[in-house]
Structure 1
Amino acid sequence: MTTDKKIPTLYEWAGGMPVFEKLTDTFYKKVLKDPLLEPIFKHMSPEHQQHVAHFIAEVFGGPKTYSEGEGSHYQMVQKHLGKHLTEQHRQRWVALLLETADELGLPADPEFRSAVVGYLEWGTRIAVINSREEQLEMDKEQPMPRWGWGETGGPYVP
């Protein structure tokens, strides 16, 4: 007997856009109180939290709110150039985001959390690498990353 169940996207499983917007709003309030991260983020625009919510939601299979109205993958990468982020910054950012996800009751099942942690590890490590550059040759039309329930794209090649 086969069942024809549709596997939800990570976006759907998390609960949709209100969840991502609340997550980033709550998270960035913590960031601005964190002695390690506050100096990096103290000048962020008032829209920053919402842009990040829309970016992550789109990466996780949600609507194209970010790429169709707020920016592109290229533009997001450009925001990290010259920031000189450290491994300590990266680890603290990930830890605070996961702590916030727990506090807000995002799904805690192993498959969802594994996918979320996988994306955060991948994305933040690339952000640290790119933050060491002042400029980066990159296709301006590079599509948004799409993250699912488990597969990676192979070894990282800069």
Structure 2
Amino acid sequence: MIEKSERASTPGERPATLHEAVGGTDALRRLSSTFYDAVLADPLLAPVFADFTAAHIEHVAVWLAEIFEGPARFTAELGGHQSLLRAHLGLSITEEQRLRWMELMTDAVAKDLPDDELLRRRVVEYFNWGTKIAREVSADPAGTDLGDPGPTPRWGWDGLR
């Protein structure tokens, strides 16, 4: 839980959304590119991304933009939350792979996002939350059990909205 002293939503102190604070969708493209360069070179994670294409970087950037309260293009153009979860079905992601993913993403966040401790912490908290869901979804060996995941979540200065 965030202490009142850590809240960053006072007008004038910080941008209203994490999307604005990170530098917009272009910054999220750079973050995704840096991250996937490391992932594809990593012996533990590269096999999970055997079908990787350059379009993946754009899709991730658009997803993150929407999550961080920017434009809702992932929902409008790429199928929304259901589509993202479906992409992880049957991947059988291990906890070791999830933790390595987090290490590489944390490194990319430190390299590519603004030097703002709270901003970086909130972004990494989202990734920790999201990777746990991806791992859980990936465990479905049949690759079909999603249920109703609801709308695309939003993540702000106070976490999940």
TM norm structure 2: 0.84
Structure 2 matches for 1:58-137, cutoff 5 A? 58-104=66-112, 106-133=113-140, 134-137=143-146
Q: Deviations over 1:109-141 (max 9, x none)?
A: 23212211211111000111111013214227x
The equivalent of 2:50 in structure 1 is 42
The equivalent of 2:20 in structure 1 is 12
The equivalent of 1:138 in structure 2 is 147
Matched, 1:27 2:35: yes
Q: Which amino acid aligns with 1:52?
A: V
C-alpha distance 119-33 of structure 1, shift in aligned 2 (>3 A)? same
Contact 1:74 1:138 in 2 (8 A): no
Q: Which runs of 5+ in 1 are unaligned?
A: 154-158
Q: Which runs of 5+ in 2 are unaligned?
A: 1-9
Offset at residue 101 of structure 1 (A): 2.0
Bigger Cα displacement from structure 2, 144-153 vs 16-25 = 144-153
Contact 1:59 1:144 in 2 (8 A): yes
Q: Which amino acid aligns with 1:112?
A: L
Contact 2:91 2:138 in 1 (8 A): yes
Structure 2 distance, partners of 1:135, 1:22, is 32
Q: Which amino acid aligns with 2:107?
A: E
| RMSD value, Cα | 2.1
TM norm structure 1: 0.86
Q: Which amino acid aligns with 1:78?
A: R
C-alpha distance 137-97 of structure 1, shift in aligned 2 (>3 A)? closer
Question: Equivalent pairs: percent with the same residue?
Answer: 39
Q: Which amino acid aligns with 1:127?
A: A
Structure 1 residue matching 2:32: 3-state secondary structure: helix
Contact 2:17 2:68 in 1 (8 A): yes
Bigger Cα displacement from structure 2, 58-67 vs 109-118 = 109-118
Contact 2:85 2:146 in 1 (8 A): no
The equivalent of 1:55 in structure 2 is 63
Contact 1:26 1:100 in 2 (8 A): yes
Structure 1 residue matching 2:155: 3-state secondary structure: coil
